[in-house]
């Protein structure tokens, strides 16, 4: 029979090796030591060893040393950390950004341990001359003479004897204001310069030569001006100083000052006079010649050009826009009749209409049920004159349409009568026929900024029982295109007998010539 195993409880028998901070837990065939106390701040429990490991706050960047500024750094200690000031090697100091920089010293000092120390010039050399004792001072030194010199003297460079001090040269004199310092052996004197005199206060005051010479210091063409220590003769305008420095002679500005006048210069006594070439005016500065803009000068007082006036220096010229040619008189722009060339409108049905400065190619297309009239190239006649008696629409359709094109200049000047006749339409001369006329403005096309013509620009007037005339009563500003329709209705003994429509297209040019 097998022998039963007996397990030992090491925890009860005290056979374990657990520390006082650990609890002994018995296991089958062994035991376990379990920690019963926390590691505390700054430590972390190591589960593998059961030990409390120190936390490196510097490596983990959980410290707050950065709040003290860049001059401080983190140093880890057991269970915590310490913020310590950064240190630098010898001859270097800690800068504001926490870096070590070389120590810079003022003259008379040299870098020491973390600070600048005084240089003992007397110990490091012999900066003083012979017969002088070197005395070190903070940041410098001084030399004390062993040979005593009298007032106004000092030891020479070799330190062997006393020599005169030039107070005037070294600036130790007491001369004030504009006094002149003159050196003397063992001293100096203060003198007034030329043009000054010593007053009772031992000060130098200016001599007024203009008053002293009773107005005779300068010539009559000059004005005497006193200056500090002297005077000057200021020549009056138009004069210059003569070689003697006193007299003033006339300046020929025209010779001596080229360009003083814009165009022509005339010398006069004590001055000069400027004149201008033809076509120029003398400006308010009495020297500059300004061009006369003849185009503006004559605006509203007649026309220099029947076209466009172009101002030029001293003159003007006339030019023409495209579609015009300048006449032999050099002033008048004449319209070019492009239609005369026979090459601008090449379509079989196109009709060339010359306009001021250009041309129009018009193709007359007859409405439906109308055909070209072989006897009138600008007219379309009704295809059939037959209409049923009950077909009022057919009967009311015009018997013909005529298309008329008229070029006009912009802003046409109206005669004293206040109107210009543009188009005449006549009806039959039969005594039994009554004719009625009606004018309609179909359209007016003008660019932005140009007022389009309205029906009020035109007057329809009867000149006889069978004739009416369309007249222009207001100038039309170009460029624009105006389309009018004149309807003529015929009545035979009071019965409607038909109508005819004359279309009138006005081509108003951009220019008024």
List, in order of start, the domains of the chain with CATH numbers.
92-119 (no CATH), 122-164 (2.10.25), 255-291 (2.10.25.10), 295-335 (2.10.25.10), 349-508 (no CATH)
Terminal C-alpha separation, the chain:
148
What pLDDT is attached to residue 1? 46
Instruction: Give the C-alpha separation, 150 to 164, whole Å.
Output: 9
What pLDDT is attached to residue 280? 92
Residue 479: asked if its preceding bond is cis (omega within 30°), the reply is: yes
Backbone torsions φ then ψ of 510, nearest 5 degrees: -75, -25
Instruction: Give the C-alpha separation, 463 to 121, whole Å.
Output: 129
Tokens at residue 402, please? 């005529």
Cβ partners under 8 Å of residue 381, min gap 6 = 370, 371, 372, 373, 399, 400
pTM of the model: 0.49
Sign of CA dihedral 348, 350, 356, 358: negative
Tokens at residue 30, please? 């062994």
Residue 228 CB coordination number (10 Å): 11
Judged by phi (left if over 0) then psi (alpha if -120 to 50, else beta), residue 422 lies in: alpha
Instruction: Give the C-alpha separation, 241 to 249, whole Å.
Output: 6
pLDDT in tens, the chain (513 residues): 445 566 788 888 778 888 777 788 888 888 888 777 677 777 777 767 767 788 887 888 888 888 878 878 888 888 788 888 877 776 777 777 777 877 778 888 887 767 788 888 888 877 887 778 888 888 888 888 777 888 888 888 777 788 898 988 888 888 888 888 899 988 888 888 888 888 888 788 888 888 877 667 787 888 888 888 888 888 888 888 888 777 888 889 899 888 889 999 999 888 889 999 988 999 999 999 999 998 888 887 778 899 889 998 989 999 999 999 999 999 999 999 999 887 888 877 788 999 999 999 988 889 999 999 888 888 999 888 888 878 888 888 999 999 999 999 999 999 999 999 999 999 888 877 889 999 999 999 999 999 999 999 999 999 888 899 999 999 999 999 999 999 999 888 888 888 999 999 999 999 988
What pLDDT is attached to residue 215? 65
Could you tell me the CA-to-CA distances from 433 to 382, 492, 500 in Å, in that order? 21, 5, 14
Backbone torsions φ then ψ of 87, nearest 5 degrees: -115, 150
């Amino acid at each position: 029979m097998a022998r039963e195993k007996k397990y030992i409880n090491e925890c009860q028998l005290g056979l374990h090796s657990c520390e006082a901070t650990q609890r002994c837990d018995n296991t089958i065939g062994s035991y376990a030591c379990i920690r019963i106390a926390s590691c505390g701040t700054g430590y972390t429990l190591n589960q593998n060893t059961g030990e409390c490991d120190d936390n490196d706050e510097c490596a983990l960047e959980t410290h707050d040393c950065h709040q003290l500024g860049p001059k401080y750094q983190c140093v880890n200690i057991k269970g915590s950390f310490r913020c310590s000031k950064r240190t630098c090697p010898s001859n270097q100091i800690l800068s504001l950004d926490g870096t070590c920089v070389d120590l810079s010293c003022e003259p008379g000092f040299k870098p020491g341990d973390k600070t600048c120390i005084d240089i003992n010039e007397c110990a490091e050399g012999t900066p003083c001359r012979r017969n002088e004792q070197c005395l070190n001072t903070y940041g410098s030194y001084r030399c004390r003479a062993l040979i005593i010199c009298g007032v106004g003297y000092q030891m020479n460079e070799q330190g062997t004897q006393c020599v005169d001090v030039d107070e005037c040269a070294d600036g130790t004199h007491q001369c004030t204001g504009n006094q002149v310092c003159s050196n003397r052996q063992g001293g100096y004197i203060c003198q007034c310069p030329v043009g000054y005199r010593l007053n009772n206060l031992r000060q130098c005051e200016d001599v007024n030569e203009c008053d002293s010479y009773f107005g005779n210091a300068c010539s009559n063409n000059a004005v005497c001006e006193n200056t500090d220590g002297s005077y000057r003769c200021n020549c009056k305008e138009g004069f210059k100083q003569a070689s003697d420095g006193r007299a003033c002679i006339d300046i020929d500005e025209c010779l001596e000052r080229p360009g003083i006048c814009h165009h022509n210069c005339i010398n006069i006594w004590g001055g000069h006079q400027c004149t201008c070439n033809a076509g120029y005016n003398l400006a308010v500065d009495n020297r500059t010649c300004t061009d006369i803009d003849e185009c503006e000068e004559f605006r509203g007082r007649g026309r220099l050009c029947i076209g466009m006036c172009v101002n030029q220096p001293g003159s003007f010229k006339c030019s023409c826009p495209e579609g015009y040619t300048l006449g032999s008189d050099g002033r008048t722009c004449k319209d070019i009749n492009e239609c005369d060339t026979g090459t601008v409108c090449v379509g079989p049905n196109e009709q060339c209409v010359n306009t001021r400065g250009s041309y129009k190619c018009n193709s007359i297309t007859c409405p439906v049920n109308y055909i070209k009239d072989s006897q009138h190239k600008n007219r379309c006649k009704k295809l059939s004159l037959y209409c049923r008696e009950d077909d009022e629409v057919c009967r009311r359709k015009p018997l013909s349409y005529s298309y008329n094109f008229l070029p006009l200049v912009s802003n046409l000047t109206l005669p004293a009568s206040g109107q210009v006749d543009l188009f005449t339409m006549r009806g039959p001369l039969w005594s039994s026929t009554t004719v009625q006329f009606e004018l309609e403005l179909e359209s007016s096309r003008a660019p932005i900024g140009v007022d389009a013509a309205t029906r009020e620009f035109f007057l329809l007037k009867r000149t006889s029982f069978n004739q009416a005339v369309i007249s222009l009563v207001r100038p039309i500003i170009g460029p624009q295109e105006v389309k009018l329709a004149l309807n003529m209705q015929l009545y035979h003994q009071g019965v409607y007998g038909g109508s005819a429509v004359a279309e009138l297209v006005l081509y108003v040019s951009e220019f008024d010539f």
